[in-house]
Structure 1
Amino acid sequence: MLYILLFTGNDRLKMDWEGMFSSWLPEVFRIETAAFPEGPVGLLPEILPSCFIVDSVSAQYAPENPWLSLLPLQYPQVPVFSFEESGSFREQLEKLLDEDGETPDRAEIPDGSGLKCRLYLEGLTSIRQAVPQENPDLPDYSHLSFAACAARISDCSGKEGLYDTCAFLAGRYPLSFLYFNEEKGILLFVLYDHTGSFTRLEVNRQTLMDQVSATNSFLPPFKFGVIHHGLMGLGSSFLEADQVYYVNKLRTPCVCFEEISSPPGQLLKAEKLMEIERSIRTDIQFREGQNALAYTRQWFAEYRRLEYEPDAVKYDMIILYASIKYVLFDMYGLKLKRIKSGLEVHEIIHISTLDELEEWFVTWLLYTLDNFDLTRSNTGFRIQEVLQFISNHVMDDLSLNTIASYFYVNPSYFSTLFKKETGQTYISYITKLKMDKARELLAANCKVYETARLLGYEDIRHFRNTFKKYHGIPPSEVKPPPSGHGHPV
């Protein structure tokens, strides 16, 4: 099947061309039209046309469109033709067919189209609070892993700098795609690879992190999502990059989270290995890690007995390491959903022997256990820490009992301390924070009932009344910002 993506400003051209091509193309074809791009042409992996055609008849400026000139960098395997109603154009297009009159493998298009790709990416980057869902119009991509990188471009009119960024990323990372949501001011850059190649994907992700954080970097301040798998995984990775407030062990902001989720179809792990892993976590949770080191040694000994290669151990070790961190931070009191404590995964990936893996893991475990107060016996009430936690979890359950339990303080005492430190009651503070967040969500085209649900309001009438009390208008009257004005980075 020959799939052609046509950039044109002439609505009739598609129909005319379908009639023209049907007389001399020897196979089934599909022509899809698209407006001349105002940003990078965003197409999901494997949904690539057999060729791009630029209609230079109806738009003489089109060949100079910088985003069209970016196409060979973004999709080097897809030819770009300029249509000028000349006989040579037919010759160019016929080159897509091999000597046997059949299209090459890349023209065997899976379900989907350029339009469906754009609609999906627009939806993904328009409603930040959207829950990733399956899309029956697109492949599920269960065989691919994705790492989403998101940046807010505060000045959407600065297209030259945006173009330079996109050209650099497209040229530097072949297994990637870009999408710019001009209305929201969000640049989405996605790295991908086959699920079995997570090491290469993580290395590329880390390389980009280093480039973004360099003092002389011209790249925008990207935030980085976790590596996930499949189309729903891409949605999850973007939401993590765009929404989740990451902190390190000092509880200061960072831009990424290094854990990697388990791939689909992973081989069943040996029962003894799973038993040892449960023992490690249980020991840390209930015995303050007294025997965790001994269990860890047993874990590595079992891998040696089973004659696993180091590369096969790395993935399991990353998952075990992540699960231990969750246990530790759940016990640590704040129970933050995402905590980054360094570049541990990056270090693990670059270890070459099983002995070195074991030494690294033991060193990390000993250091971690020595630097966390599992009992929280000396925890104090620090208002800045409390306010930061509330801000990071505004869409979570923030009842007085819940927040007091996070900080190991009696609810009544917590309420008294909060009013003393802030001059307002805890309930009034939370309500105002939620109403401010509600206005932000509504301005991002989130529906009223969705906003109420996200902020924990089961009674939508109560939500509407509270919103109107704080903002002077009902939630249904909140309008999105004018087109072209994105949120600040």
Structure 2
Amino acid sequence: MIKVVLIEDENVVLKGMAMVLKREPDVDLAGTAEDGNQGLELIYREHPDVVLTDIRMPGLSGLEMIEQAQMRFPDTVFIIFSGFCEFKYVQQAIGLGVLAYLEKPVTVSDLRGALKKAANLVDYKKNYIRMKERTQQVNRVMVEQALYDLMNQPSAMEAANMERLLEVGEYLSFSTELAVLCAGKLSWKESGVDEYRKLIHAMTFSIAGNHSLDIYTLTMEEQLYFVYFNQECQIFPFYQEISGQRQALEDQGISFYGGISSIHQGIYGLKDAFSEARSAQNYACFLEAEEIVRSEDVKYRNHIPAEITDSQYSMEFNFRLQNYSQFRKQAGAYLSYLAKAGIMPELLRNECLDLVYLVQKLSLESGGVGEDRLPVISHSEIMDLESAEEMTDWARRMTDRFLLEVEQDRNTEREHPVSVVKKYIDQHYAESITLETLADQVHMNPTYLSVLFKKEEGVAYSHYLAQVRIRQAAGLLEKGEKAKDVCRKVGYFDYRYFNKQFKKYVGMTPDTYKRTKIGLE
């Protein structure tokens, strides 16, 4: 069934053709009009599949009407008829893509033939449109996945993710500018479902309007990201439009804290745009800003002297050496500095979290405390805090809780990790032993174990291992075994290196040592 409208200024012809059309089983005559202006209104109202129209009519001519109608409905099929068989009309009709040109008087067979061709073309266009829409839907899903990867994966993956994005969304490379809006802490007066749809609609369809914008909506950690690609040559007022839509939503009882990135020229600024929008949104939450915060407006006082940041290395070193009182003193001084430094809230939160995560990592690496015994780090707790003093106090409490567990574990009666490692070396010296192998025996971080071993024994684990091997080698040589056989039995696989090590610790080569011992006996 095809939807048809008929436009003809001669009333007799109009009624006759309308009668024929009403009898056609696969035709739905949606309306008629008697001049070009009425015809254009009819087309706009009914959005027909096929338009049958005369050329010469009062007001707009048939060709003028077609030209305007095609601007809104490019897929509509047009059939024209006229009693004036002039070449210039045919030329114009061909230029407008008219399907058929019928001369008056129009016969029923000519009309049916033209309608049959029109029906076939309408079916083809509808199938093509459906296929195109399905392809676009699949393509859109692939673009959204590529955007997720670009947003979430580390910077080292940026080049690969950008290449994948351009493979599935090549048209995005033609964007003249882009921006990202991050919306978080959504709230509404009603149920939330319809309001959520209203928010999406406002930040996509309402903003786009008649502009050529490609817009993608992503969700991540209770935040909405709107990614805008401007395909027009002229600059788009992103901030003004988005702020206007936010205010309109606020009037409807729908609110959120939003941050917008800088306007980037070209797609390769997309990774930075995600980060900027997220930071601006976090800052908007902290300020409880009733406006969209721009990335450019986020002025961080983030200068922390190098000697202060370097103190973290000293703190880490003292923790590994189990100097917990010194660690606690340094951590307290560091937090006191942060509380008085006047840095922006976002940076202060990050510094406090960094310290707490450092203590968590060191506690796990200590080997004795299981993850189930350590306190849980709650981001929501520090996000709810407003002042610098509250944030640093939170970090101080969390640090003390971790230290308490580690100190309690150290005071329990259990074999010291260094003793376990020495026993393992004494029993497995003939095998290939690495620092990682030893760390696995005591469930500790290799670096931590290395520092602890040297502190307790005064030498590195490798030195201790070499001493055990050379001592065992000397005993075997005294029994008269060949030096090359002894080399393998004590864990060395390179005889020249064994020779070098033996001479380093004993003062002579294995063969000389053997001759000396046997000769003396």
TM (norm. structure 2) is 0.28
Larger radius of gyration: 2
- Which one has the bigger helix percentage? 2
TM (norm. structure 1) is 0.29
